[in-house]
Structure 1
């Protein structure tokens, strides 16, 4: 499956209904959406820690009510191919998660990446909405925050990726130590970048040395390790943004790939 990262962050203003609808037109199989919660506990689609990063507002999402958030232009800083800001004169607003669920057709996969601290605030907000909409079977849940993952995993209805730290550790063990010590829990799935910029640190008697490397931790051996308990364990490879990376992920039998530009990957447009 080809999944639009932040609904296609390179093609249209990320995490907006516009981006969702346009990426669906391009032919994606699903959406990867960033979720935070407003001050009054409504889950909305927005990624950075401060609203000034993308909008004409400022401050954290949790510091504003939904009524305040929907007045902001979520595409204020989105640049077009010519370097202009096409949406400053035509605002695109921050959507609620409910609105995103409404425009997603049946059968399309939805990944929700919970981004906010404190973790309990966003977990409670998303839980309430999924309960209300009876939408647990429509979504898979992810977070780089271990506390969010722990809170979500306590809910038997949640399809949660294992903690990112656990995935990274397992991948490193296979690639660097050539050993498969453990596999993900049977009910979870795993998500990690196909290639990742990392710092390799070596310790000496008199100090340390480090080097920046681009590491590909998904290999035939690491995929086999993750699927040694069950051949059906879902593996999602993130940051697959070139035709070569797509071919690599396909050879590795990824369940899904997460792409920044569905328009490029699926239609060949630049």
Structure 2
């Protein structure tokens, strides 16, 4: 298991899952003490500080002391894994069309910072940053820093094979984990026994919803599993009935004492909370015992982690598995 989210919480996973803590040590209350904080994962290389998935973003996130790097991967026309997220180049660059319409060399000449905005300014329009290859990105990340690769394009098989070749060449399997919203990637990477895979998003979502709707924890992930989902997310609840259907839009909190307790039924389960970008949410994640948080701006979030005083003392919120 990759050590990207390894932590020690009072020596082990506590019997009680906790919330409502302060990021400073304290003596009041009878809460459990936490001796580690969630790691900071640089989302898309640090999309809040520089153009996402660029070597510039990687450089700044390393400079800002992020713990882990999260990078989005697609496949170029000539079969080279490159870093880019949206379906169309027009979303972020000065070009248009899918990544797969361009060679890696052509992509390197586009400006991946074209749409990056700071206040009213577009600072990278005068100093372009290209779309890098995965190989170049891995070489830019310190060898001791774990990397999470978010697979973004289909079909999965060809991209999986291309990424695997790069990881072989760079001897990078030991520091890389694979995530995707597409379950196809869990299947294609299963052919590589050295691959470290997050469980499918469908599996994580289904378990979270069942616990939150009081159906209980009936399918906890197996030991050594890695799971990632947003701390908060806008959801649509769809109800079907005889003469039609109705829907309700809700802003849901997915990681709670009950859901974390469910995921912690087996040993050595790692949990990543996605979209944690402020002090309140980082505090919540810390007191839930979350292993790592996916943050847009390491320059803002790393100081929160480094400024905390350990051990944290969190007040009891709910018994493990409590509904």
* TM bracket (short chain): over 0.9
Q: State the Cα distance separating 1:258 from its structure 2 match.
A: 0.3
Q: In the alignment, which residue of structure 1 is the partner of 2:295?
A: 259
Counterparts of 1:7-22 in structure 2, within 5 Å, are 7-22=45-60
Q: In the alignment, which residue of structure 2 is the partner of 1:64?
A: 102
Q: In the alignment, which residue of structure 1 is the partner of 2:216?
A: 179
Describe the SS at the equivalent of 1:125. Answer: helix
Bigger radius of gyration: 2
- d(CA) in 1 for partners of 2:88 and 2:162? 19
Tell me, yes or no, if the aligned pair for 2:64 and 2:298 is still in contact at 8 Å: yes
- Among 261, 269, 274, the alignment partner of 1:224 is 261
- Among 55, 59, 71, the alignment partner of 2:93 is 55
- Among 207, 214, 227, the alignment partner of 2:251 is 214
Q: State the Cα distance separating 1:42 from its structure 2 match.
A: 1.1
- Among 115, 119, 126, the alignment partner of 1:89 is 126
- d(CA) in 2 for partners of 1:4 and 1:14? 10
- d(CA) in 1 for partners of 2:223 and 2:274? 21
Counterparts of 1:126-165 in structure 2, within 5 Å, are 126-165=163-202
RMSD of equivalent CA atoms: 1.4
- Residues 76-117 of structure 1, C-alpha deviations (whole Å, 9 max, x = no match): 111122x12111111011111111111211321211000011
Paired positions, count: 266
- d(CA) in 2 for partners of 1:32 and 1:134? 18
- Residues 185-205 of structure 1, C-alpha deviations (whole Å, 9 max, x = no match): 334310100111100122344
- Among 111, 114, 127, the alignment partner of 2:148 is 111
Q: State the Cα distance separating 1:60 from its structure 2 match.
A: 1.1
Q: In the alignment, which residue of structure 1 is the partner of 2:313?
A: none
Q: In the alignment, which residue of structure 1 is the partner of 2:275?
A: 239
- Among 217, 231, 239, the alignment partner of 1:194 is 231
- d(CA) in 1 for partners of 2:182 and 2:224? 19
Q: 1:71 to 1:60 in 2, by over 3 A?
A: same
- d(CA) in 1 for partners of 2:162 and 2:75? 6
TM-score by length of 1: 0.94
Higher relative contact order, chain-length normalized (CA < 8 Å, sep 6+): 2
- Residues 161-188 of structure 1, C-alpha deviations (whole Å, 9 max, x = no match): 1110010001111111241111223343
Gaps of 5+ in 1: none
TM-score by length of 2: 0.79
Describe the SS at the equivalent of 1:6. Answer: helix
- d(CA) in 2 for partners of 1:140 and 1:42? 19
- d(CA) in 2 for partners of 1:133 and 1:263? 28
- d(CA) in 1 for partners of 2:63 and 2:109? 27
- Residues 129-168 of structure 1, C-alpha deviations (whole Å, 9 max, x = no match): 0111111011111000111221112321110011100100
Superposition misfits of 4+ residues, deviation over 6 angstroms: none
Q: In the alignment, which residue of structure 2 is the partner of 1:3?
A: 41
- d(CA) in 1 for partners of 2:66 and 2:166? 24
Gaps of 5+ in 2: 1-38, 305-323
